[in-house]
């Protein structure tokens, strides 16, 4: 079965989530990854969405456009206030948090604020939203982003979200990780991608271990379950 | 008001002459409580329970130089910026919604130097409102540390007196006015909210003056029969206006879903012609009508019924 880059990244993310874990998920691919994992292999996984939702189930075809709307309410177990969702993360209850950014550097630092200078930006991006908080407060942070040289940069123009807790960077070409000295390295190649391609599309230096395994391609069961969640292809 | 100035904020509350009983008034009356230059906190979150009825009324009154604070900002921020009601957003995010991409209006306003985007994290906005609601100058937190948000905001670091650790000190955001939309209120301002409370309970305690629009005005007995349902007490509320569909074209939990087709049309128009499209929108939907009821008359009844049915399906 062929698949899109978004499908590949979502399935890669879902595979990292284990039964019983807790996930701070934004809308789009992270939410899909959480729901997919829950349906496939992690029935006891619980998600928190920053708009104030605990353990949403979401109706296929009615995926939310924001983290704080009615589409996240069906069969949720609690609707706390927004500040209280972040307080759960600050207290240590959230195992995984997903973030992304327009720029990511070799330390996992992310920029979703401005391209150029803050006071006179070339591009004003939407802003942190909860990204800084998720990156600051969840135990393990997973970055999901398209693998592009202009995105994986030597230095971010603005450090919106700190990379200190980033454990994995999932892209359509690879999964990057960090060694004990927090140097970024390539851990896994995505199916079909080559090492040359990854190095070409990365704007910072990457450690390359002697052997880099290739991930299993998305299985039919994974793709079928994922596509059933987003039949209108809003996110995939 | 200076960030974290809790003594001054407290004095303002202490010096207030609260209305005796009745707080129900017209939208125009409520809009007159907001002065040019005021610090205003907007309730709800993005397109959920955005107090559109009162915000449109403020625009019709031509308010200027407001400092607008909101956790996540939506279409209302674009209307306020283009109408020159504000040149200063205090927020963590602005856009119409992730699928609509970057906002051309935000880009034009901030990149062109017409408006200032004072950026905080979402949680930090919540802590700013919470600290203000608690009447303290700041709250210690583990967020924003090590990021450039510390440099561009008024957040500082503080050494914990017990552990010696470095913490973020997130200053209280005390405001002149808070504006929220709720499901039900009585004429004294006791408010009930269904579903998401967002940050509204804190926001109402963070401001000196609180304006509430409600889908429905409840008899006092109904409130007294179910005091557990009251989320915001009359004590902190100054004005109540009755506004069915008061958050439209955004959503109100359980009552109507966002009019995504309307948002999509607005997004396409602004993507094509920028601020000019917002001006046209303002002429048609805000200045071209005299009330929120008249604004609602611009939408087809079957569209409204469909949005109500969607809300019902999602929350029952």
Residue A39: inside a domain: yes
The total domain count for chain B is 1
Residues with pLDDT less than 50, chain A: none
The answer, yes or no, to whether residue B303 has pLDDT greater than 70, is yes
The C-alpha of B189 sits at a distance from chain A's nearest C-alpha, in angstroms, of: 21
> Are B143 and A28 inside 8 Å of each other by CB?
no
Window 234-273 of B: residues touching A by CB (8 A cutoff) are: 251, 253-254, 257-258, 260
Q: How many other β-carbons are positioned within 10 Å of the β-carbon of residue B235?
A: 12
Residue B4 clears pLDDT 80, i.e. is over it: no
Please check the confidence at residue B99 and state whether its pLDDT lies above 70: yes
Q: Does A62 touch chain B (CB under 8 A)?
A: yes
Is residue A146 a part of any domain in this protein? yes
Share of chain B above pLDDT 90, in %: 97
Spatial CB neighbours of A218, under 8 Å, sequence gap ≥ 6: A1, A3, A7, A8, A11, A226
- The mean per-residue pLDDT over the stretch B120-133 comes to 98
Range of the domain at B283: 6-137+172-315
| Residue A222 annotated among the catalytic residues of the structure | no
Contact A83 B95 (CB under 8 A): no
How big is the A-B interface in CB pairs under 8 Å?
172
pLDDT band at B20 (very low <50, low <70, confident <90, very high): confident
In a domain? residue B145: no
Specify if B161 maps to a domain: no
Q: Is B149 a domain residue?
A: no
Residues above pLDDT 70, as percent of chain B? 100
Domain contains B158 = no
Q: Please check whether residue A234 lies inside any domain of the structure.
A: no
Rounded CA Rg of chain A: 17
What's residue A65's pLDDT? Answer: 93
Domain annotation covers residue B22: yes
Q: In this structure, is residue A38 part of a structural domain?
A: yes
User: To which residue do tokens 């303290």 refer?
Assistant: B136
181-210 of A, contacting B, C-beta below 8 A: none
CATH number at residue B183: 3.40.1080.10
**Residue B1: per-residue pLDDT:** 62
Residues 123-152 (B) with a CB less than 8 A from some CB of A: 123-124, 126-127, 129-130, 141-149, 152
Dump pLDDT digits (tens) for B85-95.
999 999 999 99
Across B103-131, average pLDDT: 98
B12 lies in a domain?
yes
A218 within domain boundaries? yes
User: Which CB contacts under 8 angstroms, 24+ apart, belong to A14-19?
Assistant: A14/A40, A14/A222, A14/A226, A16/A96, A16/A142, A16/A168, A16/A170, A17/A42, A17/A45, A17/A96, A18/A42, A18/A45, A19/A43, A19/A44, A19/A45
**Does B164 map to a domain?**
no
Distance CA A97, CA A112 (A): 16
Overall domain count for chain A: 1
User: Does B260 reside within a domain?
Assistant: yes
Tens-digit pLDDT profile for residues A114-124: 999 999 999 99
CATH number, residue A106? 3.40.1080.10
What interface predicted TM-score (ipTM) does this complex get? 0.97
Mean pLDDT within B202-231: 98
Tell me whether A121 touches chain B (CB under 8 Å): yes
B102 touches chain A (CB under 8 A): yes
Residue of A91, A114, A115, A124 to mutate when probing chain B, most B C-beta within 10 A: A124
Q: Other CB atoms closer than 10 Å to residue B274's CB: what's the count? A: 16
């Amino acid at each position: 079965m062929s698949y899109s880059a978004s499908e590949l990244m979502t399935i890669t993310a879902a595979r990292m989530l284990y039964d019983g874990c807790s996930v701070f998920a934004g809308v789009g691919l992270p939410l899909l990854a959480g729901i997919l994992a829950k349906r496939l292999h992690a029935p006891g996984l619980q998600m928190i969405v920053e708009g104030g939702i605990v353990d949403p189930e979401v109706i296929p075809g009615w995926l939310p456009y924001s983290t704080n709307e009615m589409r996240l309410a069906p069969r949720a177990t609690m609707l706390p206030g927004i500040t209280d969702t972040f307080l759960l993360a600050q207290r240590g209850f959230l195992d995984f948090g997903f973030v992304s950014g327009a720029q990511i550097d070799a330390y996992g630092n992310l920029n979703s604020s401005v391209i150029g200078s803050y006071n006179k930006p070339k591009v004003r991006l939407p802003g942190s939203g909860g990204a800084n908080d998720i990156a600051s407060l969840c135990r393990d942070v997973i970055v999901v982003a398209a693998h592009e040289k202009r995105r994986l940069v030597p230095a971010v123009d603005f450090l919106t979200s700190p990379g200190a807790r980033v454990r994995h960077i999932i892209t359509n070409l690879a999964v990057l990780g960090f060694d004990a000295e927090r140097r970024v390295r390539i851990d896994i190649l995505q199916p079909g991608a080559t090492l040359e391609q990854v190095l070409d599309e990365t704007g910072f230096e990457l450690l390359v271990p002697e052997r880099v395994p290739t991930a299993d391609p998305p299985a039919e069961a994974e793709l079928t379950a994922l596509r059933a969640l987003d039949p209108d292809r809003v996110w995939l | 008001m200076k960030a974290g100035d809790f003594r001054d904020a407290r004095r303002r509350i202490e010096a207030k002459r609260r209305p005796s009983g009745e707080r129900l008034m017209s939208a125009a009356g409520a809009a007159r409580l907001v002065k040019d230059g005021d610090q205003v906190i907007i309730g709800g979150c993005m397109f959920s329970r955005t107090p559109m009825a009162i915000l449109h009324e403020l625009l019709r009154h031509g308010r200027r130089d407001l400092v607008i604070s909101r956790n996540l900002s939506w279409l209302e921020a674009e209307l306020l910026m283009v109408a020159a009601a504000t040149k200063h957003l205090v927020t963590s995010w602005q856009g119409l919604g992730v699928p609509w991409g970057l906002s051309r209006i935000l880009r034009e306003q901030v990149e062109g130097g017409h408006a200032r985007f004072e950026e905080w994290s979402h949680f930090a906005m919540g802590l700013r409102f919470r600290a203000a609601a608690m009447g303290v100058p700041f709250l210690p937190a583990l967020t924003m540390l090590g990021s450039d948000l510390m440099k561009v905001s008024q957040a500082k670091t503080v050494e914990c007196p017990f552990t010696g650790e470095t913490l973020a000190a997130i200053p209280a955001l005390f405001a002149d006015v808070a504006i929220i939309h709720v499901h039900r209120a009585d004429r004294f301002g006791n408010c009930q909210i269904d579903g998401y409370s967002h940050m509204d309970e804190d926001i109402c305690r963070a401001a000196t003056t609180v304006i509430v629009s409600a889908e429905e005005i409840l008899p006092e007995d109904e409130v007294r029969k179910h005091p557990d349902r009251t989320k915001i007490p009359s004590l902190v509320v100054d004005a109540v206006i009755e506004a069915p569909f008061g958050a439209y074209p955004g959503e109100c939990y359980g009552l109507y879903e966002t009019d995504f087709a309307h948002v999509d049309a607005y997004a396409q128009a602004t993507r094509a012609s920028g601020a000019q499209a917002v001006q046209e929108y303002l002429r048609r939907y805000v200045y071209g009508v005299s009330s929120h009821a008249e604004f609602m008359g611009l939408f087809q009844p079957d569209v409204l019924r469909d949005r109500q049915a969607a809300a019902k399906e999602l929350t029952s």
